[in-house]
Each structure stands twice: as C-alpha cells, then as structure tokens.
Structure 1
Amino acid sequence: MFECSIRLVNMVLQIFTAVADIVALVYLIMVIYTPCVLGSEYYISVMLYVYFLPVITIQTVVFVLCRLFCFTVGLDPIAMTFNLASGIVCISTSMTMLVAMFDHCGNEYQYMFYVSGGCGLLAGILHLVNALVCNIYMPPEEWTYTKPSKRARNRLERARLTSIL
C-alpha cells in the first residue's frame, strides 16, 4: 500500500513537472519572436534556454506517457538521474533568463519572459523534488542496478569462497 502511494505521488509530480515544462516551452516559443530577441537585445540568455528546454520537455512528456501506461516506471535509477540532471539544467537556464530580464525594457512582451522563466524554474524545482522522492523511496531491488561493480565484486567473492571450500 505504501509503495502504491509513493508511486502515485511520483506520477503526480511528473505530471505537474510536464505541465510546467510545456507552459514554459510555449511561452519560450512566443518569446523568440519578440522584438527584444529578434533585435538581439536579449539573445544569448534566451537562446541558452531554447537550447535545453525543448529536449527536457520532450523527455519529460515521454517519461510521463511511459509512467501512465507502464506503472512500473518512475522509481528507478534512470528516473532519478534524469530528474536530477533536468532539474539542475532547468534551474540554471531559467535563472539565467530571469536575471537577464530584470533590466528588461518594460514593453508589452515582458510578461512572456517572466512566465517562461518562472515556469522553467518551477519545473526545475519539481524535477529536483522528484529526484529526491526517487532517491528516498526507490525499491531495494532497483538499487542493485546503480552499482553493477558492487554486484560483480559480490559474485567474484562468492566464486572465490566456493573455490576455496
């Protein structure tokens, strides 16, 4: 019962993360066509965000779809690593864009920059929370896949002990 509730929390976190990623991506696409970006006033910080956010969003949506149709996916080393890396990248790129926007000229497109950056920051935090949930509540049998060298050492040790006896 406890494992089922943790998997449900994990799935809900992934869905919220995917929604935040999609909203950030939609607003980022709208930001690309603003005069500030087309005029290269805020080009580098936005393009850094453009480089990473679509890939993370696509992977998150695919991960959520796999999570919805294959219930066993989610609390595993791959999910933990993906969420950790995606969280760090989302936070760093969205913060870069948000910090660059503090000196924004204040035109009618300013809200797009803040919505995209804010949703990306929220998605990054949710990715990190989900990585933490995966790390804490990962089933013990999944931990054996994180360190195959330890398994190999145990097999070698057992083989050595049986050959001595």
Structure 2
Amino acid sequence: MYFQVAPNSTFNPTDFTGTSGVEFKLTGAKGMKVTVDSNSVDTSKAGSTGVVKLTATDAAGKATSISYTVFVKPEGLFQLNLPMNYALGLGDTDTVYQGEQYYITNNVKFARGEFFTGISKQSQNASATSNSVKWIATKYLANSKTQFQMLKLRQLP
C-alpha cells in the first residue's frame, strides 16, 4: 500500500493525514496490540519515500506484520520514472509517458485496491474535477524523482 503525505507534516505511523485531508488510523482487531517495528518516513524531504513496518499481536501472542510505503509530496515539477513506457490511470484517455514532467496535486483517491494521485501539467493546485488532472498509481510516483533531485544527482562526481 502506498500513501501520500504533505511535506513537513507531522507523521505518526499509526495515525496520519494524507494530502487530500483524509485521516488514516491503523489499528489491530479487538484486543490486538500494534507496535511500530520501523519507520523511515522523513517528511522534511519532499519527493522522498519511507517504509513503515508494523506488527499486531493478539492476546495469545500470535503476531501479524505489515508494511506500507509513504510518498512525501514534492513541490514544483516532478519527472516521471515509470516502470513501463506508459501508465494507465483511472479511465484517462491520454497516455502518460516516461520522463514527462507534471505537478503533483493534493488529489488522492482509492480505487481497485490501491491509491491514485492526481497529476497536472498546468498547476499543483488543480482540482480533482479539472480536465487537466490525470490519475496515476501513487506507487509509480514513489519510484520517480523530482527534477531538482535529478539535476543534483548529475552534478555529483
């Protein structure tokens, strides 16, 4: 599962708010204790990803572990680094190509068992109802880099 949070936001692995304003509370079934095994989310790094690992333990000591990835929304244009030549969103008629640059919006929706994030060529503040917003699986964005990060990497010896 991939979630998207705002840069410099407060992040608690079991209780946080996504960029769309939806609050996520992760709890175990009745009587289960949830512990955070690891949390590499750093909201001070826009465009980064972090992984959270949780374990839920019942009264009998039986444990179940899960992990999820958090994408920290970048500011400005964001260059797509897709795992294929194109990615289909949620019924979009346009194709989104590898290497294109988009603004990442606050728009997020859950469909077909995963989260999708709105991207726009026009504005970071585009509305989810705008024709300029295309939907791409958040997991694809989490594997991309911002334009700034790409330039910074090229300058290293």
TM interval, shorter chain, is under 0.3
Q: If each structure's helix is expressed as a fraction of its own residues, which one has the higher value?
A: 1
Q: TM-score, normalised by structure 2?
A: 0.22
Greater RCO (CA < 8 Å, at least 6 residues apart): 1
Q: If each structure's strand is expressed as a fraction of its own residues, which one has the higher value?
A: 2
Q: TM-score, normalised by structure 1?
A: 0.22
Which has the larger Rg? 1
